Structure 1
Amino acid sequence: MMAGSRLRFWGAALAASVVLSGCTIDTIDTTESSGPPTSTVTLTSTPTSPPAAEAPVLPTEEPQQGESFAQALQAAVDQTIAVYGGTAGIAVSDGSTEVTAGDMSAAAAWSTIKVPLAIAAVRQDPAQTTNVTAAIQWSDNNAAEALWASLGTPEQAGQATTDILREGRNDVTVNTVVTRDGFSSFGQTMWSPADQARFAATLGCIRGSEPVLQNMAMVEPGQSWGIGQLPGARFKGGWGPQPDGAYSVRQFGLSTDPTSGQTTALAMIVRPGSGSFADAQAMADTLISTVQPALTQAPSAAC
């Protein structure tokens, strides 16, 4: 798999002198610069021969910070797949640009769609807070259906939830028609990890998000795998079987470093080769724990 980064970095090498400087994104450590190359002149033993100069030695170009972070994400994806097989993808966003690695295909949102749904519902009716708590902290499907119904017809509910996604800089449209028996229409909305990361980065700026974010910080322990391992995590997970019965799990949210205060917005999806839900949870844990040290290089969330 290749890392798909919307960040592109260009280095330049000059024959006589080279300075490498890192493109700093928020709290990224600046890449160490290399000094200018030196030319060594060697005199021959024959006085009549002109001095011969060795060719300048150009310094080896090191990855710049953005490239280094993208490489760290890709390495985490590769290492995770090496253990569990299957596919994985992870995205980090500042609200306008995403750094991604692995599979960025749009896939069923499952219960992650409950975040914009809850914001839409509580914005229209603040009395929905009990259903918001159940839908976000425990991923209660009946509570989510109640939130959906509170917004009117399926078309009205879909539009209200889509409007929240638009405020989060997403072009995703919420599904209002049941496409799989036994599953909600809105849970089958197709949502990519890159779009989810962007939505997460803007979440704090969306009106009505405050009570939802508070609940995202209190997800029950049994669902606190993956992103839930990170410090200051506010997140929501979703999971379900694909048509062939193999499970995928996904999460998106925010993590705030207690030391630096930096908030990182990220999203991930994993599908283990075994297809089991237990392996999917363990795979999410591995992906996030592997990438965690590199998050100090991540761009800060916009909100």
Structure 2
Amino acid sequence: MEERKSEYLLEIKNLKKYFPVTKGIFKKSKSYVKAVDDVSFGIKKGETLGLVGESGCGKTTCGRTILKLYEPTSGKILYNGKDITKLNTNQMIQYRRKMQIIFQDPYASLDSRMTVGDIIGEAIDIHNLCGLKERNERIQYLLQRVGLNSEHANRYPHEFSGGQRQRIGIARALAVQPEFIVCDEPISALDVSIQAQVVNMLEDLQKDLGLTYLFIAHDLSMVKHISNRVGVMYLGKLVELAESNELYNHPQHPYTQALLSAIPIPDPDIAESRKRIILEGEIPSPIDPPAGCRFKGRCRYAKPVCSEKDPEFKDLGGGHFVACHLF
């Protein structure tokens, strides 16, 4: 297993995740959905990397593949410099404690037949972390830490609101004292009034517990608020990556510019004067993506070279990376 010192807690290199699709009456013809296609980035300890893009761009698949909930098709996943890509189920157990996930849907991600205490305590039991008394004390502590009451441990998920269920999901992720958490659109299913509370809680937990986040979301303004750096995905590819303020103030990729132009602005005068970039054309199929740049069919700056080869992921300086033939 590869070992080396790294500035990153987590690093992925040329990560790919393809899902097979069978065709024909005998299911012999096979093609692949290229959900994540040659993506590379790193996340430093204690930082939050935001990952944004349209629905279907591969954000969630990327997060789940990093945790090996999906087996990667190829590429490397380095955790603290150790390559965990080829580890089997038993070998991954020690990393399951270190790497957790907060799911998007607080309704579907909780077992309706289990009490809240058992949901949070399940991972504690699996990893044999403590005895019964300490287990119950930890469950009560976690419930209070996420803004719930200790007596909620004996209730069932259907007795809670969506925001409360997501807090239970967060407590479950914290139960094994992880270092890294994939936040898979943790606020998208919540009321707007609850979203800010949950994000502020995640920030407080990160500060107090030294957590590292991969924050996947659609809400670009919220991603800017919580993230140190932001990556933009399009059709399985990472097209831009930069420090948060740099990306929002100086977006370079035409797709990033279009995404940011769609962020609502509360001031009607500013909103009226701002130019909205409307993307025309259809998103190509991830089963048979076009040659060259995958964004070229919707790009107003497309050139002949865009159809001929993939753009390189270049460093423009200061850690601002972009994959575009304009640079």
TM-score when scaled to structure 1?
0.29
**Rg bigger for which structure?**
1
Greater helix percent: which structure?
1
TM-score when scaled to structure 2?
0.27
Greater strand percent: which structure?
2
